[in-house]
Structure 1
Amino acid sequence: MSTSNLDLFDTPLQHTNLLPYDGEVYYYGVVMDAARAQAYYQTLLDTLEWKQDEALIMGETVFTKRKVAWYADHPFQYTYSKKTKTALPWLPVLEELKALVETQSGERYNACLANLYHSGEEGMAWHSDAERDLKKNGAIASLSLGAQRKFSFKHKVTGQTQSIVLEHGSLLIMTGTTQTHWLHRLPPTRTVHQPRVNLTFRTIEAASQPR
């Protein structure tokens, strides 16, 4: 369902679950007009503290072409791929976008992992966002800006897949038991030559943080 005519603080709408079972994924479509989406996209490219992502593989640190940035209410630590990041304070542009996705989804978030894919050749392998730092079965709001990309899900047991194309300025919500039962990925493609910025707003459990 397209929601391109929504204002920044319109009330949430009802959406259809994209998954057939064992989880909940809702695609809200485009949630801002094209001019606003382009302005946010450029601001994020210019102002976020982008760094190459790191993963520890067989004892060696590997750097990805994809870049990331991690922001939150507090200097939360977030560990994935055996590497730990410490969150930076919110920037005004991220606070605005957090307010937008909170209004649309009816959820609250305290952190954001941003990803920058320079072209379609950069993607993300199958994985689930089920790290111990994250609220179990909590909502994850994925806001896409820039190049349009395919996004896929695969059930961990049955292998059933489901895919959707994420548009510029669109919002996707993953919640419930999605991370327990489903993997997701951003498949690489040679047909996309423009960058894409993806903001994933999520909730860090304070109890999981170092004391």
Structure 2
Amino acid sequence: MKRFFSIFLLVLPAALFWSACEDNEDVLPDQQNRIRQYLRSNHVPKLLSETEKEESLDENPAFYTVAGDTVYRYIRNYYDAERADRAEVEYGDSVVLTFRMYVFDYTNIVETGKEITMPYYSNDKTLEQSYYNTGLTPGAWSFEPLRIELGRTQILRGLELALPGCRARDTVETYMTYNMAYGEDPLGVIPKQSPVAVFFTVDEVEKQ
């Protein structure tokens, strides 16, 4: 069982990570538009694009960045006073992550309270009992922080694109179109052509 669930983040076939070259002409732009609309209208807080952030009169406007036109990133603690002093993630670095992964349906993801949105996969220890309560066998997968070497460890292409520029102790939301996640085909609990949201904290950055 542990091996089964690890497939979602680590051991998918390489071809699946590069399905962008076979994008569906209708689905991809629709997902891009719907993610942007969600971030700008329904997300809490409402987010500006990076260009709008530069033009904003607000001192610390909440904003999202875009990687590869299909991966949208919001760093919640971007304006922390000491953030610039923390190690910045670059390709080749060893990075430790705690993550939650969701099939994204363009609605707000609830992380606290009684009616949380359950991730389809997570190593967040605070959710361990919640998974067990759903009938999963204790020990089905690891709830330890995940260590990857960026650019070497096989992870979702969208997550790989979102990590550079993050810093140690960042809390990050990413939203990605299907081609940056699992591609055209269904995979276990992931319906085909699903946009995916990955929320994560950067627990550690070891420079190489």
Task: Give the number of the structure whose residues are more often strand, by fraction.
Answer: 1
TM over 0.5: no
Task: Give the number of the structure whose residues are more often helix, by fraction.
Answer: 2
